[in-house]
Amino acid sequence: MVNEAALYIKERCGIDKFDVAIVLGSGVELGEVTLEIPYKDVPGMPLPAVPGHKGVLKVLKIDRLMVAVFSGRFHYYEGRSNEEIRFIPELSSLIGCKLFIATCAVGAVSRRSAFSQLVVVEDHINLIGKNPLTGLVKTYGSEVFVDMKSVYDRKFIDTFLDCCFENDVPAISGVLAAVHGPNYESFAEIKMLSMLGADVVSMSTVPEIIAAKFYGMKVAAVAVVANDTIDNKTTHEEVLKRVELKNSSLGNVLKQTLMKLYNYI
């Protein structure tokens, strides 16, 4: 079914291959689009159910790079299967993407992340209790044993931080913890995450990164610090509101980063 989806997108866009795939999280938007394809039009593609996730594939051109922007993702807390979680990373690989970027809204866990707008992920802690590669050993054998010790692309991290500095956008590199959700974290859980070395926490992204790495792409992740989990009460509406305020910073820095990485990608 994913093969059919890839063929449909290539034919609909008139593009043989893309360069970059970007998955956008809660409330995040990026740039002007040349074409929009609703997920419901793509054969076999799941539909998002979370507010802020529109379910649209947007085609962008950033400099000379063809970019597929997936506005809407899938979460384990929705009851999604591993196949649904893998769908976008696998599709991205099949349409030719060499770099897979996941963005997400996160809660601050460490004090240093609470004072940042953006966190470019350098490592993660998967506490979801599920793995999107489960069951694939029957088909792929030992290929499923993906090395995760240096999964996040170092050149992307360094270039992104340079662009943040040039644009006066507060940013750090840090560790992303992924939890199942859908409830937000208790104070004890936040303390535990901090003790484990996490800077921010999300209910997504890490499963997509694991799948994208398995499918052979360079991977990167950027988190928008949407709420201070340390002190404040959290609602999804408040997350969307705060992310919207930081969208322009994320979009500008991400575009500049990709332009600088053109020859690398």
Three-state DSSP class for residue 75: coil
In a domain, 104, yes or no: yes
In a domain, 183, yes or no: yes
Q: Which residues are annotated as a binding site for a purine D-ribonucleoside?
A: 185, 227
Instruction: Give tens-digit pLDDT for 183-223.
Output: 988 989 999 999 999 999 999 999 999 999 999 999 999 99
CATH number at residue 26: 3.40.50.1580
Residues 163-188, mean pLDDT to the nearest whole number: 94
Cα-atom radius of gyration of the chain, to the nearest Å? 17
Instruction: Give tens-digit pLDDT for 64-102.
Output: 899 999 999 999 999 999 999 999 999 999 999 999 999
Instruction: Catalogue the E-assigned strands of the chain.
Output: 20-24, 35-38, 56-62, 65-71, 99-108, 118-126, 171-178, 200-202, 218-228
Q: Which residues are annotated as a binding site?
A: 26, 53, 73-75, 105, 185, 204, 227
Q: Which pLDDT score, from 0 to 100, does residue 97 have?
A: 98
Pairing of strands 99-108, 35-38: unpaired
Residues spanned by the domain of 60: 2-260
Residues 11-18, mean pLDDT to the nearest whole number: 94
In a domain, 128, yes or no: yes
One-letter amino acid of 77: Y
In a domain, 265, yes or no: no
**Number of compact structural domains in the chain:** 1
In a domain, 6, yes or no: yes
pTM score of the predicted model: 0.93
Q: Are 104 and 202 in contact (CB under 8 A)?
A: yes
In a domain, 77, yes or no: yes
Q: Which residues are annotated as a binding site for phosphate?
A: 26, 53, 73-75, 105, 204
